Structure formats: structure tokens, C-alpha cells
Amino acid sequence: SQTIHQWPATLVQPVGSPLSLECTVEGTSNPNLYWYRQAAGRGLQLLFYSVGIGQISSEVPQNLSASRPQDRQFILSSKKLLLSDSGFYLCAWRDRGKFTEAFFGQGTRLTVV
């Protein structure tokens, strides 16, 4: 069966520090991968998606970046965090095709102080 791992679960980082959040998927090949951010009480903002190794599409201009060094690994990074980067970050995957369910990781609650 397929599983998705996302870590860490919580993170407190100072302003200006770097960020690296990692997500890995098991039990499937060539998935579509996604990073979302959710501010408190708000919706799911699509940040990045990837259809293959090294292929990253950015939805929102910001000081975040994403990389996909391996088929089932998706990394969200920042060189210098801002206070506004605080939020709940969710990684997700789904199989190719339109009629496919998205599966989410447990999420990372990031607080920038």
C-alpha cells in the first residue's frame, strides 16, 4: 500500500534562518507531488507541484523553493524565513490522471519567530 511521510511535524525557526521540509512517498511510482500551505483558519494554498524528477512548477511567487531530487522525494526550502512564512505545510501526492485521489502527509506546523 502507498504511504506518505512528511517531517518534521512541528518546527520553530527564527526569522532569517533556512528551512528544509521533506516528503517521501512509498508504494507508488512517478506520482504527482504537491506542497500546500495553510494559514490558521484558512484554505489550502498550492505552492508547488511536480510531475517528475527535477520538474517543478511554482504557483505563488515567494521566498520558498521546491526540489524533487528523486521520483518519490519532494523538498520545500527557504534560504531566509520571513514571519509570514508561518503556517501549516502539507505535502500531497496523487497518481497521474484526472480522476485520482490526493493523499496528504501529516503536515508540518512551522512557526517563524
Partner 1 sequence: GENVEQHPSTLSVQEGDSAVIKCTYSDSASNYFPWYKQELGKRPQLIIDIRSNVGEKKDQRIAVTLNKTAKHFSLHITETQPEDSAVYFCAGPPSDYKLSFGAGTTVTVRA
Which residues form the interface with partner 1 (CB under 8 A)? Answer: 32, 34, 36, 41-44, 46, 49, 51, 57, 90, 92, 94, 96-102, 104-107
Residue with smaller CB distance to partner 1, 87 or 105: 105
**Least spacing, CB of residue 79 vs partner 1, in Å:** 26
| Sequence-ordered list of residues with C-beta below 8 angstroms from that of 45, at least 6 positions apart, any chain | 36, 37, 38, 39, 59, 60
**Least spacing, CB of residue 80 vs partner 1, in Å:** 27
Residue with smaller CB distance to partner 1, 14 or 97: 97
